[in-house]
Amino acid sequence: MSKLSRKKGGDMSEMKATTGETFPKKSCLFVPIDGKVDSTWRYLSEKLSEDKRQKMIAQQVAWGMDTMIFLTYGRGGDCDINPFVQTYGPDVDWPKVARWMQRLEPGKHGANLIPCLFCDDDPETARNIAFHDYYVPAACVALGPYSRAICIGLEMNEQFSVAAMEHIIAVCKHYTDKPIGVHLQYRPGMALPKGLDFLIYEFSFHPKDGDKKSVSDIIMEAKTVLAACSLPIWFQEMNMNPEGQRAREQSRALLELSKTEPRIVGLPGPT
């Protein structure tokens, strides 16, 4: 992954990369909106009101985030995101996709957008190889021009085998030249799919418990992962209270670590 700026303002077009790429990038999955924690995973969800979507963007920009990670397919709950008329296609919901493209337009003009192709907790979709072979090429071709990189899945190892992930990576690389990553809770010794360009790392604890973890806990875990995994790492999904003092201390410590660990390509929230 070639090493993936920060302006203050109110729209996604301000989440721009600089000409001379700077690292680590900053993204935050969790955003407080109207007194509740929401997530950028569901940025494209039809269940997210336009008012909340705009508040999500404004908060990201106010924090100085330069990247957004979001889902492009997920079944059920608040992450009901599907570009097709049917559950598994084949008919594209063109009016919905037109709304998506409008929301993603800043990605063509410098905003760092990372679409995530598959959600967790969906064993049926994980087993549907025919759908993978239909959806993944179309997603790469459609989303590539708007994207800084592509994430093949959220917590992907929960339902997808290493072989299935490798197949999806191979399909992605045939249809796009963007870096390919995966989001999961990596453990030393865990088999990762071949062909990955970077890892979006979910910390070992639930992010609602992020405030319970000390800065030293975070740095110890980060160093353990860096020692065990040779990929560039985007530390993410750490603390659901990103505006809190503890979360900012954790992010600042990871930023400091990145000065001596060049494989840290992303941070999990405001510093």
Give the per-residue pLDDT at 79: 74
Go through 76-94 and write b for each residue having 16 or more CB atoms within 10 A of its CB, e for each that does not. eeebebbbbeeebbeeebe
How large a percentage of the chain has pLDDT more than 70? Answer: 92
CA atoms within 13 A on the CB side of 209: 8
* Residue 55 predicted with pLDDT over 70: yes
Mean pLDDT is lowest, of 14-18, 77-81, 154-158, for 14-18
Q: What is the pLDDT, as a whole number, of residue 94?
A: 97
Delimit the domains of the chain by residue range: 23-267
15 falls in which pLDDT band (50, 70, 90)? low
pLDDT score for 80: 86
How does pLDDT run across 187-208, given as a tens digit for each residue? 999 999 999 999 999 999 999 9
> What sign for the dihedral angle of Cα 76, 81, 84, 90?
negative
CB 166 within 8 A of CB 193: yes
- Phi/psi for 111 (5° steps) reads -70, 140
Over residues 156-170, the mean pLDDT reads 96
CB 44 within 8 A of CB 52: no
pLDDT of residue 2 exceeding 50, the answer is no
pLDDT digits 0-9 by tens, 207-262: 999 999 999 999 999 999 999 999 999 999 999 999 999 999 999 999 999 999 99
Q: How confident is the model at residue 133 (pLDDT cuts 50, 70, 90)?
A: very high
Mean per-residue pLDDT, 65-79: 89
pLDDT at 20 over 70: no
Q: For residue 49, what pLDDT band results from cuts at 50, 70 and 90?
A: very high
CATH number for region 23-267: 3.20.20.80
Single-letter amino acid, residue 142: A
* pLDDT score for 6: 26
37-54: average pLDDT: 95
DSSP-derived 3-state class of residue 267: strand
Segment 66-83 shows an average pLDDT of 90
Phi-psi region of 18 (alpha: psi -120 to 50; beta: other; left: phi over 0): beta
103: confidence class by pLDDT, cuts 50, 70, 90 = very high
What is the pLDDT, as a whole number, of residue 160?
Answer: 95
- Mean pLDDT for 148-152 is 97
> What pLDDT, on the 0 to 100 scale, is given for residue 3?
46
In what helix (H) or strand (E) does residue 182 lie, and over which residues does it extend? strand 180-184
Hey, how many other C-beta atoms are within 10 angstroms of the C-beta on 215?
A: 15
Q: For position 17, what pLDDT does the model report? A: 53
Distance between terminal CA atoms of the chain? 24
Distances (CA, A) of 95 to 84, 87, 111, 247: 10, 16, 23, 39
